């Protein structure tokens, strides 16, 4: 990593924190979504006690929840890196434009 891009990168601690937060939010949200949408379908097609519904419906919901947690755990730090680098690029671009304008005005005097 060069000195020029070192300011653009997100620190490992922050990246890991965003990864943990993304995994938790992605897993929790997808578990709620999965149970709310999968269990009525399971109850409609499988007759029997509630534990049987849970036994049949839980594995696909757990798989879906794990996949969403993994995707969110990777996507959230990537978005944080994108925002950080975009902000840094915009700020360095605007400050260099301001410096160029100052240099042009002082050289024309």
> Does the residue 94 lie in any domain?
yes
Query: How do residues 2-27 score in pLDDT, each as one tens digit?
Result: 555 566 666 778 778 888 888 888 88
104 pLDDT more than 70: no
Q: Considering just the CA atoms, what is the radius of gyration of the chain in Å? A: 25
SS3 108: coil
The distance of Cα 64 from the centroid of its chain, to the nearest Å, equals 17
Does a structural domain hold residue 6?
Answer: no
Residue 41 lies in domain: 15-107
H helices of 46-107, in order, are 50-107
CB 22 within 8 A of CB 73: yes
In a domain, 29, yes or no: yes
Q: What is the pLDDT of residue 83?
A: 84
Query: Three-state SS for 20?
Result: helix
Asked if residues 70 and 20 have their Cβ atoms less than 8 Å apart, the reply is no
What pLDDT is stored for residue 52 in this prediction?
92
pLDDT tens for 38-86 read 888 888 998 999 899 889 989 988 898 888 888 888 888 888 888 888 8
Q: Locate tokens 């969403």: which residue?
A: 68
Domains in the chain, number = 1
- Residue 92 inside a domain? The answer is yes
Q: Tell me if 8 is assigned to some domain.
A: no
Higher pLDDT, 78 or 36: 36
Please report the pLDDT score of residue 49 as a whole number: 93
**Measured between alpha carbons, how far is 53 from 70 in angstroms, rounded to an integer?**
26
């Amino acid at each position: 990593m060069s000195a020029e891009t070192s300011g653009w990168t997100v620190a490992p601690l922050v990246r890991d924190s965003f990864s943990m937060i993304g995994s938790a939010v992605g897993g929790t949200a997808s578990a709620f979504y999965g149970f709310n949408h999968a269990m009525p379908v399971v109850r409609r097609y499988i007759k029997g006690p509630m534990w049987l519904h849970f036994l049949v419906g839980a594995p696909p919901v757990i798989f879906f929840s794990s996949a969403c947690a993994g995707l969110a755990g990777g996507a959230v730090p990537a978005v944080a890196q994108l925002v950080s680098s975009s902000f840094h690029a915009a700020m360095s671009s605007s400050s260099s434009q301001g410096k160029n304008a100052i240099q042009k005005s002082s050289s024309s005097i």
